[in-house]
Copies of this chain bind each other. A is one copy, B any other.
Amino acid sequence: MTIQEIRIKNVQNVIRRKRTDALYVSAIKNVRYLSGFTGSSGFVMITKDRGLFFTDFRYKEQSEAEVKGCETGNEKGNRISLLRRLVKSLGIKRLGFEASLPYEFYSLLKGLPVTLEPNPNIIENFRKVKDETEINAIVSAVERAEAAFLKVKPFIKVGARERGISLRLEEQLKREGCKSIPFDIIVASGENSSKPHAQPTEKKIGKGDFVIIDWGGEAEGYYSDMTRTLLMAGAGLHEKIKIYTVVNKARQKAVSAVGAGVKTQDIDRAARETIKKAGYEAFFGHGTGHGVGLDVHEAPRVSWPKGDRVSDGFVFTIEPGIYVPKLGGVRIEDMLILKGRKGRLLTSLSRELEIIK
């Protein structure tokens, strides 16, 4: 069986267990996961015993080359009419759909002669557990990101512009083989580094600045995501060194907390408590991490509100940070996989504080 056939079988088992007749899948990364299709528009209809893939004219040739494990058809005219014909010809009475479905299309589905059954995150839940092929792709996305960073690192110094560094890093990622990058690269220095999601500016890196670099790579459609923070030599670095040390310790505590069956909230708490004890709780407002795969932010969330128990094959980030307005911020982000009951770091770049002369 191809990997796509196995995935579709897994979904069919859930469909039977839930006593629905079919699942309509249109979130494009879920479509890719189930069918292998890498285009931007198409859908999959999975019934108890069939998998059907549809796309339009623009992707006909591409889908013929890519789609495995599904029967394929052409999407012409409007989608809801096609679905109306499909539910009739396939005898679908109870139709499941994804939680991410836009309201507008949901309201069209309501016009079909079926009972609709939201099936929140069914595919996202399968996607949390990465198989061998996916892990290989992610490892490769990590390696490309690290190789690109190491080539660009010598240019990260006082006087360089944030935007210049982000452009150079993006170019290098493409040269390492990444077909796309998962998000706009963050290069944030000095005061800008206190914004967790800063956009690179024309600002020049100054003496004593923290420089946060948050970037990711890609391989076979899978992403990586990592952050390093460098410190520029300068006067009065005492508190900055302290903050870096606290964040790095929080990161280490969270990494050590990872294990089979551990709740993601407990991993978050390990990082958060460390930062709290050091008195910086108010300056760490985001979650500790998130899953990475076909999407750079996907399940599981590693945060305080709701939890997942970590299982074999989960791939996620650990990325605590402290952001002090005016002073600057630090974030250190690694990627991990749970393999054989233990967390294993995928990121290999040094996390030691480097003060750039």
Is the Cβ of B102 less than 8 Å from the Cβ of A57? no
Asked, given contacts A184-B179, A305-B78, whether A195 binds B61 with beta carbons under 8 Å apart, the answer is yes
Stretch of A103-111, A271-279, A349-357 lying at the B interface: A103-111
Is the Cβ of A199 less than 8 Å from the Cβ of B174? no
* A100 lies within 8 A of chain B by Cβ: yes
Is the Cβ of B103 less than 8 Å from the Cβ of A100? yes
Residues of chain B contacted by A196 (CB below 8 angstroms): 57-59
* A307 lies within 8 A of chain B by Cβ: no
Asked, given contacts A57-B286, A104-B99, A167-B174, whether A179 binds B197 with beta carbons under 8 Å apart, the answer is no
Residue of A97, A103, A199 contacting most chain B CB atoms (<10 Å): A103
Q: Chain B residue with minimal CB distance to A284?
A: B57
* A171 lies within 8 A of chain B by Cβ: yes
**A residues contacting the other copy or chain, number (CB 8 A):** 43
Residues of chain B contacted by A57 (CB below 8 angstroms): 196, 285-286
* A209 lies within 8 A of chain B by Cβ: no
In the complex, what distance in Å separates the CA atom of A106 from the CA atom of B118? 12
* A120 lies within 8 A of chain B by Cβ: yes
Cβ-neighbour of A102 out of B38, B103, B167, B180 (below 8 A): B103
Q: How far does the Cβ of A20 sit from chain B's closest Cβ, in whole Å?
A: 16
Is the Cβ of B100 less than 8 Å from the Cβ of A120? no
Q: Which of A90-117 contact B (CB under 8 A)?
A: 97-104, 106-107
Residues of chain A at the chain B interface (Cβ within 8 Å): 38-40, 56-62, 76-78, 97-104, 106-107, 118, 120, 167, 170-171, 174-175, 179-180, 184, 194-199, 285-286, 305, 325
Q: A59-B195, A98-B103 are in contact. List 12 more A-B contacts (CB 8 A).
A: A57-B285, A58-B195, A58-B197, A58-B286, A59-B196, A60-B285, A62-B197, A76-B285, A77-B305, A101-B103, A107-B118, A179-B184
